[in-house]
Chains A and B, each alone.
Chain A
Amino acid sequence: MNAPATATPEARVPELGASDVPVSEVIADAADGERAIVAFLCRECAYSAADAAGNARTPLPPTIRTIMVPCTGRVSPLHLLAALADGADGVYVAGCLEGQCHHRVGNFHALDRVAFVRRLLESVGVEPERASMFTMSAADTPRFVATARGMDATIARLPRLPRS
């Protein structure tokens, strides 16, 4: 069983910076039948919370794969859909609390993009719960752990995604 990237601080966490990281790289190690959830974490808030969870050796669901983003405003609908198409069973974006984005409105943009992706998924008959958005402060490690476990439980209840 692969430990989540957050459990070992020295592990390389893929970063979505100026260039795009192929999301398939992050979920390539998921064995057949194993579910994978891709988490896009804001560098300023959610990533710090995840880092603290890793340092405290808090057990996290093994399905969670993290990608660090400079701001949740960097995540486009295509990142979320490509993750689902490339083998992820769920995706979520975790950013700063509303009104506390370090880039002022990045998390509001992400919120609307996730809502857009959910409506898009719904329109083609896929469960909209596969894409979610959470907000948390940098110190709110318990919330990060709770959302990761919650997302894992949500995805575990859903049927497998048909992929062609």
Chain B
Amino acid sequence: MPLSARGRQVADGLRGVTSGVSAGVLGCEVVRHDELCVGCGRCVAACPTGAMRQDDWFDPAQLFSAPVESGRGALAVALRRIARHEPSGPFRVPERILTFRGILFSADLCAGCGACVRACPTGAVEACSVPVADVDGASRTPVPAGACA
């Protein structure tokens, strides 16, 4: 059966990416920026391997590092005005509070597919390309940074 136009496009794309790169190094390294995270959990829903997990705990110190114009930033501004001291350690979040949970990322489970990067609405998850040693030992970058996102 001949390939459709879209099929040819996909096949060509695959050839372009895979040529000269061994399997297992296609993925990107996922880097999280906690101060930009709004805790929506979309990365958790998108993650196919369970590397992203929503925690039961929330660290209030995270509010103070959030950008001022964000919802968390607004909360931090209000909290800072009445605070008696710097926030103490993390506390357990009540059941129905979904947006104020820490996001746990386990790098050893991450396949580097970049689904979380595409799902993130605030750019708090970033994909960086991993330099790998080529067959001849020279270090090079298999995928340009962000290409798989």
Contact = CB atoms under 8 A, between A and B. Distances in A.
Interface of A: 77-78, 81-82, 84-85, 105, 108-109, 111-113, 115-116, 119-126, 161-164
A125 B83 contact: yes
Q: What secondary structure prevails in chain A residues at the interface with B?
A: helix
Looking at chain B, what size class is its interface with the partner chain?
Answer: 20 to 34
A85 B81 contact: yes
B78 A126 contact: no
Contacts of B84: 124-126, 162
B75 A124 contact: no
Given A108-B96, A124-B83, A126-B83, A81 B91 contact: no
A116 B97 contact: yes
Given A77-B75, A82-B78, A119 B83 contact: no
A31 to B, nearest CB: 20
A112 B4 CA distance: 53
Given A112-B96, A112-B97, A123 B78 contact: no
Contacts of B85: 124-125
The 5 closest A-B pairs by CB, nearest first: A125-B84, A112-B94, A124-B83, A85-B78, A81-B78
B112 to A, nearest CB: 34
Contact of B79 (A111, A124, A162): A124
Given A78-B71, A123-B60, A123-B91, A162 B82 contact: yes
Given A108-B96, A126-B84, 10 more contacts: A77-B75, A82-B74, A85-B81, A85-B82, A112-B94, A112-B95, A119-B92, A123-B60, A123-B89, A164-B80
A111 B95 CA distance: 10
22 contacts: A77-B75, A77-B100, A81-B79, A84-B82, A85-B77, A85-B81, A105-B96, A111-B94, A112-B94, A113-B96, A116-B93, A116-B97, A116-B100, A119-B92, A120-B60, A123-B88, A123-B91, A125-B85, A126-B84, A162-B82, A163-B81, A164-B81
Nearest to A80: B78
A136 B91 CA distance: 29
Contacts of B83: 124-126
Nearest to A122: B91
B94 A120 contact: no
A78 B82 contact: no
B92 to A, nearest CB: 8
Most buried by A among B74, B81, B100: B81
Nearest to B63: A120
B87 A109 contact: no
